[in-house]
Chains A and B, each alone.
Chain A
């Protein structure tokens, strides 16, 4: 078929706007969003609270219908919930009655994946995210950061080509967060997954991204995009000292109007 959509373009958001109607009136969450993502790109999205970052991710996943404009994911228009993605919600959204393993394996059970393989992969992911020893703990026995890591494992289990992550490391302490950033950079650079990740940390946004997208306060628009010109696989300390990191992060910080890094 001769499609207009280029195959290396994984995501194409054109003139997307989303308005919520509630009893208290209409809230315009997103306005005129244009965003193209190439296969294997790591996009981080930064913006003030309430500017529509979560809404944007949900629109890409087909969980929230656009009021205007369109979203194309891997060549197809997004019209309903997409299954070729992994989604990490801002709140961990775990099933209270399932333990850590059970929550991760939900992905495999629902998709009817090969359970043997899924269990092996679950073990790997648990090990990787530092959850070893808590396989059988229930969500209410976990800290907020641990819950987020479970939700991350669940999103990675089926090795999706596109990952949508809403502040996946938001509830982690600074050190664990750095570790997860490094680990996640490794995974991404090895798998070529396309990622859209929302974060409030400028350092995280710049360290992880191949491109940083900065949004304005509500109604959310994209005000600037910055390509981070560094190799995909990044050493943490080295990256944070590089001039490219400084160039991008000071610009992003400026746009967000904060005098110093908030994390």
Chain B
């Protein structure tokens, strides 16, 4: 056999003499210039709108003022960002584990699926902002009620995507493993869960962004720390620059969480059609 190592991704642009640092940068730039250029355009427009005095600073602060708000209050912002990050991550982790667990239970038991589904749907459609005050009454002013709101927000997409993923296994593969006499646990671990990963990770991406929202909503209702608290404070004194700074941090948090899962996908599901290199090289239909 003459076939040697034809594995490992197979990206067409290998190392061809060019200095690897410059080459690496070029490749990175070619892949990611679209959003960077777009962001630059938005900032320029933002600057233009404020510098020309078309809108008042208390409505939209200038980019420079927003930057100053960052710089001057770095420590204050960092401290509150940490609180919100902590609430978000714990909420997201709980929602991820619990959501997957519930999805697994629902796949294996028709009866429990029928029992859980309406409850989960009910929990989802209740406006979280309306129920958050209740959590404060129950759990006090600490992190717990914020985490609970984050969990509630992030839970639903995990269950739904987990359920769809666990069900996406080719029925013939399930028939195949049934001729191998494997235990349910083995089938779950070696067949159903890996097959569910692509869907599940999509759900987790949605859940991550919702967990941020959940934590901040929780802080809105009653808190003395966190980005939600910062926003309320800044709003109270019409400090729009600070408000913008907090908003930007919140968005970045969501984006970073999203990006981490996106990177995890690369390692967890390199086999999936959505991650194959050919997909990019193929004509879009």
Contact = CB atoms under 8 A, between A and B. Distances in A.
B172 A96 contact: no
Chain B CB within 10 A, most for which of A82, A95, A109: A95
A95 B1 contact: no
Contact of B181 (A58, A89, A110, A138): A110
Interface string B179-199: 111100011001100110100
Given A97-B271, A140-B273, A106 B190 contact: yes
Interface residues of B, number: 29
Contacts of A97: 194-195, 197, 269, 271-272
A133 B3 contact: yes
B194 A85 contact: no
B4 A91 contact: no
A145 B229 CA distance: 62
B276 interface: yes
B3 A111 contact: no
Given A93-B173, A97-B271, A133-B3, A63 B178 contact: yes
A111 B180 contact: yes
A82 B177 CA distance: 10
B179 A63 contact: yes
A83 B181 contact: yes
Contacts of B187: 110
Contact of A107 (B178, B180, B272): B180
A110 B1 contact: no
A93 B179 contact: no
B281 interface: no
A61 to B, nearest CB: 6
B191 A95 contact: yes
Contacts of B175: 58, 61, 63, 81, 87, 89
Contacts of B6: 137, 141
Contacts of B34: none
Contact of A61 (B179, B181, B197): B179
Contact of B272 (A95, A96, A136): A96
A111 B181 contact: yes
A110 B271 contact: no
B176 interface: yes
B7 interface: yes
Nearest to A108: B180
A87 B175 CA distance: 10
Contact of A110 (B170, B177, B273): B177
A245 interface: no
Contacts of B1: 132-133
A134 B178 contact: no
Nearest to A82: B179
A85 B273 contact: no
Given A81-B178, A81-B179, A89-B172, A137 B7 contact: yes
B172 A93 contact: yes
A136 B2 CA distance: 15
Contacts of B172: 89, 91, 93
Contacts of A85: 179
B231 to A, nearest CB: 43
Nearest to B271: A97
A224 to B, nearest CB: 30
A89 B6 CA distance: 28
15 contacts: A81-B178, A82-B179, A83-B179, A83-B180, A85-B179, A87-B176, A89-B176, A93-B176, A96-B195, A97-B195, A106-B177, A109-B186, A110-B181, A133-B1, A138-B271
Interface of A: 58, 61, 63, 81-83, 85, 87, 89, 91, 93, 95-97, 106-107, 109-111, 132-134, 136-141
Given A83-B181, A89-B172, A109-B190, 10 more contacts: A61-B175, A93-B170, A95-B173, A95-B195, A97-B197, A110-B180, A110-B190, A111-B180, A136-B7, A139-B271
- In the A-B complex, the 5 residue pairs with the smallest Cβ-Cβ separation, listed nearest first, are A133-B3, A110-B180, A110-B182, A81-B178, A133-B1
